[in-house]
A and B are shown apart, each in its own frame.
Chain A
Amino acid sequence: MQSVQHILRLGFGGLLLSREAYRDQRDSPDGLRHGFVLVMLVGLLLGSTALIGNLGESISQPSSEAISQTVYQGLREMPWFSELNQSDPHFQADFDRIFQQVSQIIQIINGGGLIRSLTGLITTPVLMLLSWILFSIIAHLMARILGGQATFTQTLACTALASGVQLLGLVQLFPFAQASGTMLLGLVASYVAVREAHQLPPWRAFWATIIGPVILGLIMISLFCVMTFLILGSISSLLQGGIYP
């Protein structure tokens, strides 16, 4: 219990950008072990609170099937539907097909709700662990190139403290609550971690920190563009081949 308290205290030190916390972590012989436990603990807490929050959301909203059925009925009762139905004998079948496919796309984008939250119990700590290691590798290489002195173990120990910022995400315990704006604070915490671990001047620490997220951001933007074009292309081909054959 005392150990958990110590780990959580480390996490809050990271969240509050305490230089002493980062320096202690760098010099501690147990820094890596404590850092690993902190990342896993924060991941597990985040996954659990997201599950509870999603449970609260699901009991205060109608089911997605009921919404889909109501929208379907509502659209069919509108004047535009009758007009097109009278002018085109295939319209109703095409409408049903397109509505079903659009509903499926929306459900895929919205995710599986509670099922996704349940899997999040496992995937959140694992993803946090992977992103911690990946970020540390890139930041360590860049910091060493820029004149940093820390060992890889010290880099890992310090960057683990930056995951303390994710403790703010515990607000997801409340249904409908959004912990926006924590990404930049996380980046700032990572900057402090790299700076304190490698004892670099501010600008060098800045570049060592920023290069990893920039590469990741470019990859994400590319993937997003490809996905958007694919989705828009499939919707467009559906509309052209459906309502207007």
Chain B
Amino acid sequence: MIDTFNGALTLNQNLFRGMRESPDVVRRGLLLVLMVGLLVGTVQAISSMITNSSPERVMTEIETALDESIRQQALAASDDNQRQTIRLITDNKDGILKLVRAVMELPTPAPRPIGLSLQGLGFAFSMPFSYLGSLMLAVVSTHIAARQLGGEGNIQQMLGLSALSVAPHALDALGFIPAIGATLNLIAWVWGLVILVVATSVAHRLDSGRATLAVLLYPLIISLLFLFGCCMLFIITLVGGLQ
């Protein structure tokens, strides 16, 4: 499994071709997703358990988020109704925080550390499924596009090889580091995209250009449709306002 992981990260063509011909290509791919998901989930669960173990820290985070939300809404407020809503939230801020604290301090049948551990465990085991969900969307849209562009691979090869694109997301385990977490996530995403293009190219025996097009085709169409919808909504609102 470690060899598969390393081979995926280094875009090892022999590994990709070997997996394409392997009868257990799906098993190997899904095992990689499981391994990366559990690694990231465990690290993030421990990080979140440390944060949530102190109610004071949680309350400070909620208060900071509430202040930031009020500040942003105040900046965006353009009429009296919105300003009145912001004043209402500001006047009741202490009451809201007191309510949150009261709910957090309610007694539970099991001691709080057990509850926190169970939540951490659930989070850690959910992470592979989170990756699987994103992966399946990418696999299905890319496979359909690749077949339309003349690809020859089957869905098993596509799923198994595309699962290798989850490997760089092992970097997500470091997402809790405030300064570099977001940058590492971005690097993992771009790296994963490159692996997905190579996987599509190998699975469907397509050249790099067509493989890139297959990966980007449906996301681009959906983005353009969304953009078109937003523009139409903006124009309709503008015309309605002018009338």
- Give me the interface of A with B, judged by CB distance under 8 Å: 16-20, 56-62, 66-67, 70-71, 73-75, 77-80, 168, 171, 174-182, 184-185, 187-188, 191-192, 202-203, 206
Contacts and interface: CB of A to CB of B under 8 A. Distances in A.
Given A174-B118, A206-B144, 20 more contacts: A16-B24, A16-B26, A59-B110, A59-B115, A60-B109, A60-B115, A67-B103, A77-B95, A78-B95, A80-B92, A171-B125, A174-B121, A174-B125, A180-B129, A181-B131, A181-B134, A184-B136, A185-B132, A188-B140, A188-B155
Given A60-B118, A71-B103, A78-B96, A191 B91 contact: no
A16 B160 CA distance: 10
A22 to B, nearest CB: 11
B163 to A, nearest CB: 11
A60 B125 contact: no
The binding surface of chain A is classed by DSSP as: helix
B136 A19 contact: no
Nearest to B125: A177
24 contacts: A17-B155, A18-B26, A19-B156, A59-B110, A59-B114, A60-B114, A60-B115, A74-B102, A74-B103, A77-B98, A78-B96, A78-B99, A79-B92, A174-B125, A175-B122, A176-B126, A177-B122, A179-B129, A180-B133, A181-B130, A181-B132, A181-B133, A184-B140, A188-B136
Nearest to B140: A184
B122 A79 contact: no
The binding surface of chain B is classed by DSSP as: helix
A66 B122 contact: no
Interface in B136-150: 136-137, 139-140, 144, 147
A191 B156 CA distance: 11
A17 B96 contact: no
Nearest to B92: A78
Contacts of B147: 202-203
Given A67-B106, A180-B133, A56 B95 contact: no
Contacts of B140: 184, 187-188
Contacts of A185: 132, 136
Given A56-B118, A171-B125, A174-B125, A184 B96 contact: no
Nearest to A20: B23
Contacts of B26: 16-18
Contacts of B136: 181, 184-185, 188
Most chain A CB inside 10 Å of its own CB: which residue of B98, B122, B154, B156? B122
Contact of A176 (B107, B122, B156): B122
Contacts of A179: 126, 129
B119 interface: yes
B237 interface: no
A62 B107 contact: yes
B70 to A, nearest CB: 15
Interface in B16-75: 23-24, 26-27, 30
A24 B51 CA distance: 51
A180 B132 CA distance: 8
B218 interface: no
